[in-house]
Amino acid sequence: MISLFVKGQIVNRKDYYGYRHQLKTGIGVAYHGLEDMTGYSVFSKYHYYLNKNISIATEFDVLNFRSDEKKLFRSMSAEALKANIQIYWLQRRNYSFFTGIGANIRLFHWMISNQHITSYTAFDEVILPNSHKAFTQFTGGYQFVVGLGYHITPLVGLELSTIYQNDVKGNAIWDIRMGFLVRF
């Protein structure tokens, strides 16, 4: 057992069940607010517990969005690398509640095909009538997370969470996720 002596008290670097590490993976439904597009997300996350209520996490996720309406086709995918700190406010034998904040860097890939008679503008990019354009955006931003966990066993659990993330280019995304987690 690794412990740290801080201000006269022992602080265990483990979660509620006595494990220090946690891996999460899952899928979600996502919404891109600026472009009014829905899609899906896939994520993998690693948590390191500082104590039973606070963890530091790194995450990699992929987001895909698609919209095909009235002669305007839009497709967007993004890869994101995130870091956040989560606080577990309520941990019981079978469930937990948590919130968190963090930062992200994201790489967006856009493909827009415009078959309208008028031009279309997205992120200061003008797509002329009867043409298409592909472009990328590299951005950084922030995120907020709120979630509930259900612990099947001390080693395995499920998690339902929602994440709001935004960046300097205005790519505001809501992501509702279901994840599977393993502790070790």
Q: Given this model, what pLDDT does residue 154 score?
A: 82
Q: What are the structure tokens assigned to 154, written together?
A: 């001390």
Say if 5 falls within a structural domain. Answer: no
Say if 150 falls within a structural domain. Answer: yes
Say if 176 falls within a structural domain. Answer: yes
Say if 146 falls within a structural domain. Answer: yes
Say if 2 falls within a structural domain. Answer: no
Per-residue pLDDT of the chain (184 residues; tens, 9 = 90+): 344 433 444 455 677 667 889 999 999 999 998 778 999 999 999 999 998 889 999 999 999 999 888 788 889 999 999 999 989 888 777 888 999 999 999 999 989 998 888 888 877 888 998 898 898 989 999 999 999 999 898 889 999 999 999 998 888 999 999 999 898 8
Q: What is the dihedral of CA 37, 165, 59, 55, to 10 degrees?
A: -150
Say if 4 falls within a structural domain. Answer: no
Q: Given this model, what pLDDT does residue 12 score?
A: 55
Kindly report the CATH number assigned to the domain that includes residue 58. 2.40.160.20
Number of structural domains the chain divides into: 1
Burial class, 139, CB count within 10 angstroms (exposed 0-12 / middle 13-18 / buried 19+) = middle
Say if 139 falls within a structural domain. Answer: yes
Say if 3 falls within a structural domain. Answer: no
Alpha-carbon distance values, 8 to 51, 70, 113 (Å): 16, 67, 64
Q: Which residue range(s) make up the domain with 53?
A: 12-183
